[in-house]
Amino acid sequence: MLRDKLRGVVGFPITPFKTDLTLDLDALESNVVEMIKHPFCSLVAVGGTGEIYSLTPGENVEVVRRTVAVTNGKMPVIGGVGFNARIASEMAREMEKAGADALLVMPPYYTGAPIDGLLSYYEAIGKASGLPLSLYSRDWAVFSPDMVARLADRVPTLQIWKDGQGDMRKYQRIMAKVGDRLAWIGGIGDDCAAGYFAIGVQGYTSSISNVAPKLSLAIGAAGMERDFATLNSLLNKYVHPLYALRDRKRGYEVSVMKTFMDLIGLKGGPVRPPLENVNAAEVDMIKGIVELYKDYL
């Protein structure tokens, strides 16, 4: 099963745009070619880092289609879906046709949904295709251990849990409640890798995979080996300075990474509204991070 294969680092490609903010699919293919030179356990196309909510449903499907074509079976491709139950279900069906190996289900747009309505949202998407689901618990979509157990019972295709809350206490309780029915992935950021691996996840998602795959894999290897001295050394030297820049403004977790890519000869490009591009002073700051990363580029 896919859940057993997801061990190590999940890569999260950005979605490049041209200066007029149209999709740059040639740039996407070029970036993915570089990423799959490295042994990620999977790639997620159009997740949060891929600006899923800045794309139309059709654009999201096309990004998945191109990513699948370039990856050509080298590693699983997981396609992001969301918005609402009807749109996400249609995206799920189209991504299955496009060759996706699984789906990453984002929270629905409606932030005030009752618990049973929220569970129905995931159930509808699970029934829409034959693909395994990875549920992304982020922002307002917060789950108790009992809720996760109910959802695992209700949605047979649910195989993977991606945590985006960073609450290690609650995540550990969820993992203890549900056990090996699901694959447990750390998903809030590279900077939380130590906490996630300390409670026993089998992998983590990395946006740094876009710019420094070797660093992402070194973090993943140290985490899997529970070598926390090495892991914390990598985080302190490389990750925390980058994440301090990303924390300057909401959405900069994408904007900063795209600028970093442009600076090292990859294809980042601008972000789409409502995200904002970094300013000139921040470009200079990112150049300092590029210099810091030189041993991993």
* Active-site hit among 136, 196, 238, 252: 136
121, 122, 162, 243: which one is catalytic? 162
3-state DSSP of the chain = CHHHHCCEEEECCCCCECCCCCECHHHHHHHHHHHCCCCCCEEEECCCCCCHHHCCHHHHHHHHHHHHHHHCCCCCEEEEEEECHHHHHHHHHHHHHCCCCEEEEEEECCCCCCHHHHHHHHHHHHHHCCCCEEEEECCCCCCCHHHHHHHHHHCCCEEEEEECCCCHHHHHHHHHHHHHHCEEEECCCHHHHHHHHHCCCCEEEECHHHCCHHHHHHHHHHHHCCCHHHHHHHHHHHHHHHHHHHCCCCCHHHHHHHHHHHHCCCCCCCCCCCCCCCCHHHHHHHHHHHHHCHHHC
Active-site annotation holds for 136 = yes
Positions marked catalytic = 136, 162
